[in-house]
Amino acid sequence: QICIIIIKKLKIALEFKNVHYKYPGTEKWILKDINLKVPKNSFHIIAGPTGSGKTTLLMVARGFHKEWGGNFHGNIYILNQNIKDSDIGRLGSNVGIIFQNPSTQLHQLRVIDEIMSAPMYQGLPLQECKKRVETVVNQILDVGFYNRSPNELSYGEQQKVALAACLSMECEILLLDEPFSFLDPKSVREILDILLKFKKRGKTIILTTHNLEQVSSYADRIVLINNGELILDGSPEEVLYSNNLEEILTSPLSIKVAKLLLYKTSS
């Protein structure tokens, strides 16, 4: 008998190769020799304490270092294309980003205009923009929000608006920087459920956090980063039961709760 084993090669959404970065006018390297592959259609968590470099990791993935300057070495690939060959506008078509405080990226007078402006910036015809917005908004926001000002909304509602704007651009990859910092547990679950829904439809989700308790049970992989270095890249089980974790994330209770939630999800 001949046994044939077919190994399915994972398609990579985002890849860092030997990435180093430090901000303009500083001597400290914020990222140090980062090597990481994020498969398409996966839910990745970048975890680490404040100041570990996880936010900067997302920002350089989006290509912002090209505008900031500073010292950058290495290569970053989005859907197998080196971002050195793409301007920030083109990157925005494939990579959406939501900042820790979403109000900083909401500038229109009405929610519906905020979401509509995202695909319009791509130069799409008006009817195509309307079609995309209707498809996304109906899954994330109630109709009653359409004519409200983004400034009137809670942080959780603003997160949903920013998320809807990204999704209306049909970005393949969504980057979220500490998206739950200002949210109550109910809003956290709502946002996570929305992200999981779109992950099942082929999107790649990458978010940063210092609190694994909230998100570990949703993750395919968890990346642990500290002092600009990638310490561990593994499954939720591998990371939560790693000796490195308690050394870096100094919240034993939070870690215990994350382990319990992961156990309940898998059992």
Q: What is the pLDDT of residues 104-133, one digit of tens each?
A: 889 899 999 999 988 888 888 899 988 888
Q: Please, which residues have CB within 8 angstroms of residue 27's CB and are 6 or more apart in sequence?
A: none
Phi, psi torsion values for 109, nearest 5 degrees: -80, -30
**Mean pLDDT confidence for 13-20:** 98
| CA–CA dist 235, 222 (Å, integer) | 6
Q: What is the DSSP letter of 11?
A: P
Question: Whole-prediction pTM value?
Answer: 0.86
The runs of H, that is alpha helices, within 10-154 are 54-61, 65-68, 88-94, 111-121, 126-140
Q: Which fold has domain 12-266?
A: Rossmann fold (3.40.50)
Q: How confident is the model at residue 217 (pLDDT cuts 50, 70, 90)?
A: confident
pLDDT of residue 233: 95
pLDDT of residue 9: 62
Name the residue among 45, 92, 37 with its Cα closest to residue 67.
92
Residues 132-177 pLDDT 10s: 888 888 888 877 888 899 999 988 889 889 999 988 888 899 999 9
| CA–CA dist 218, 195 (Å, integer) | 9
Q: Which residue has the tokens 């990204």?
A: 166
Q: Please, which residues have CB within 8 angstroms of residue 64's CB and are 6 or more apart in sequence?
A: 88
pLDDT of residue 1: 53
Q: How far is CA 223 from CA 57, 130, 150, 235, in A?
A: 11, 37, 33, 9
Q: Which residue has the tokens 């077919």?
A: 6
Tokens of 256: 């215990």
pLDDT of residue 137: 82
For residue 267, pLDDT beyond 60: no
| CA–CA dist 206, 153 (Å, integer) | 25
- Range 8-44 burial, b when 16+ CB lie within 10 A, else e: eeeebbbbbeebbbbeeeeeebbbbebebbbbebbbb
Residues 221-240 pLDDT 10s: 999 999 999 999 999 888 88
For residue 262, pLDDT beyond 80: no
Q: Which residue has the tokens 């049970």?
A: 217
| CA–CA dist 170, 94 (Å, integer) | 7
Phi, psi torsion values for 179, nearest 5 degrees: -70, -10
Helix (H) or strand (E) holding 235: none
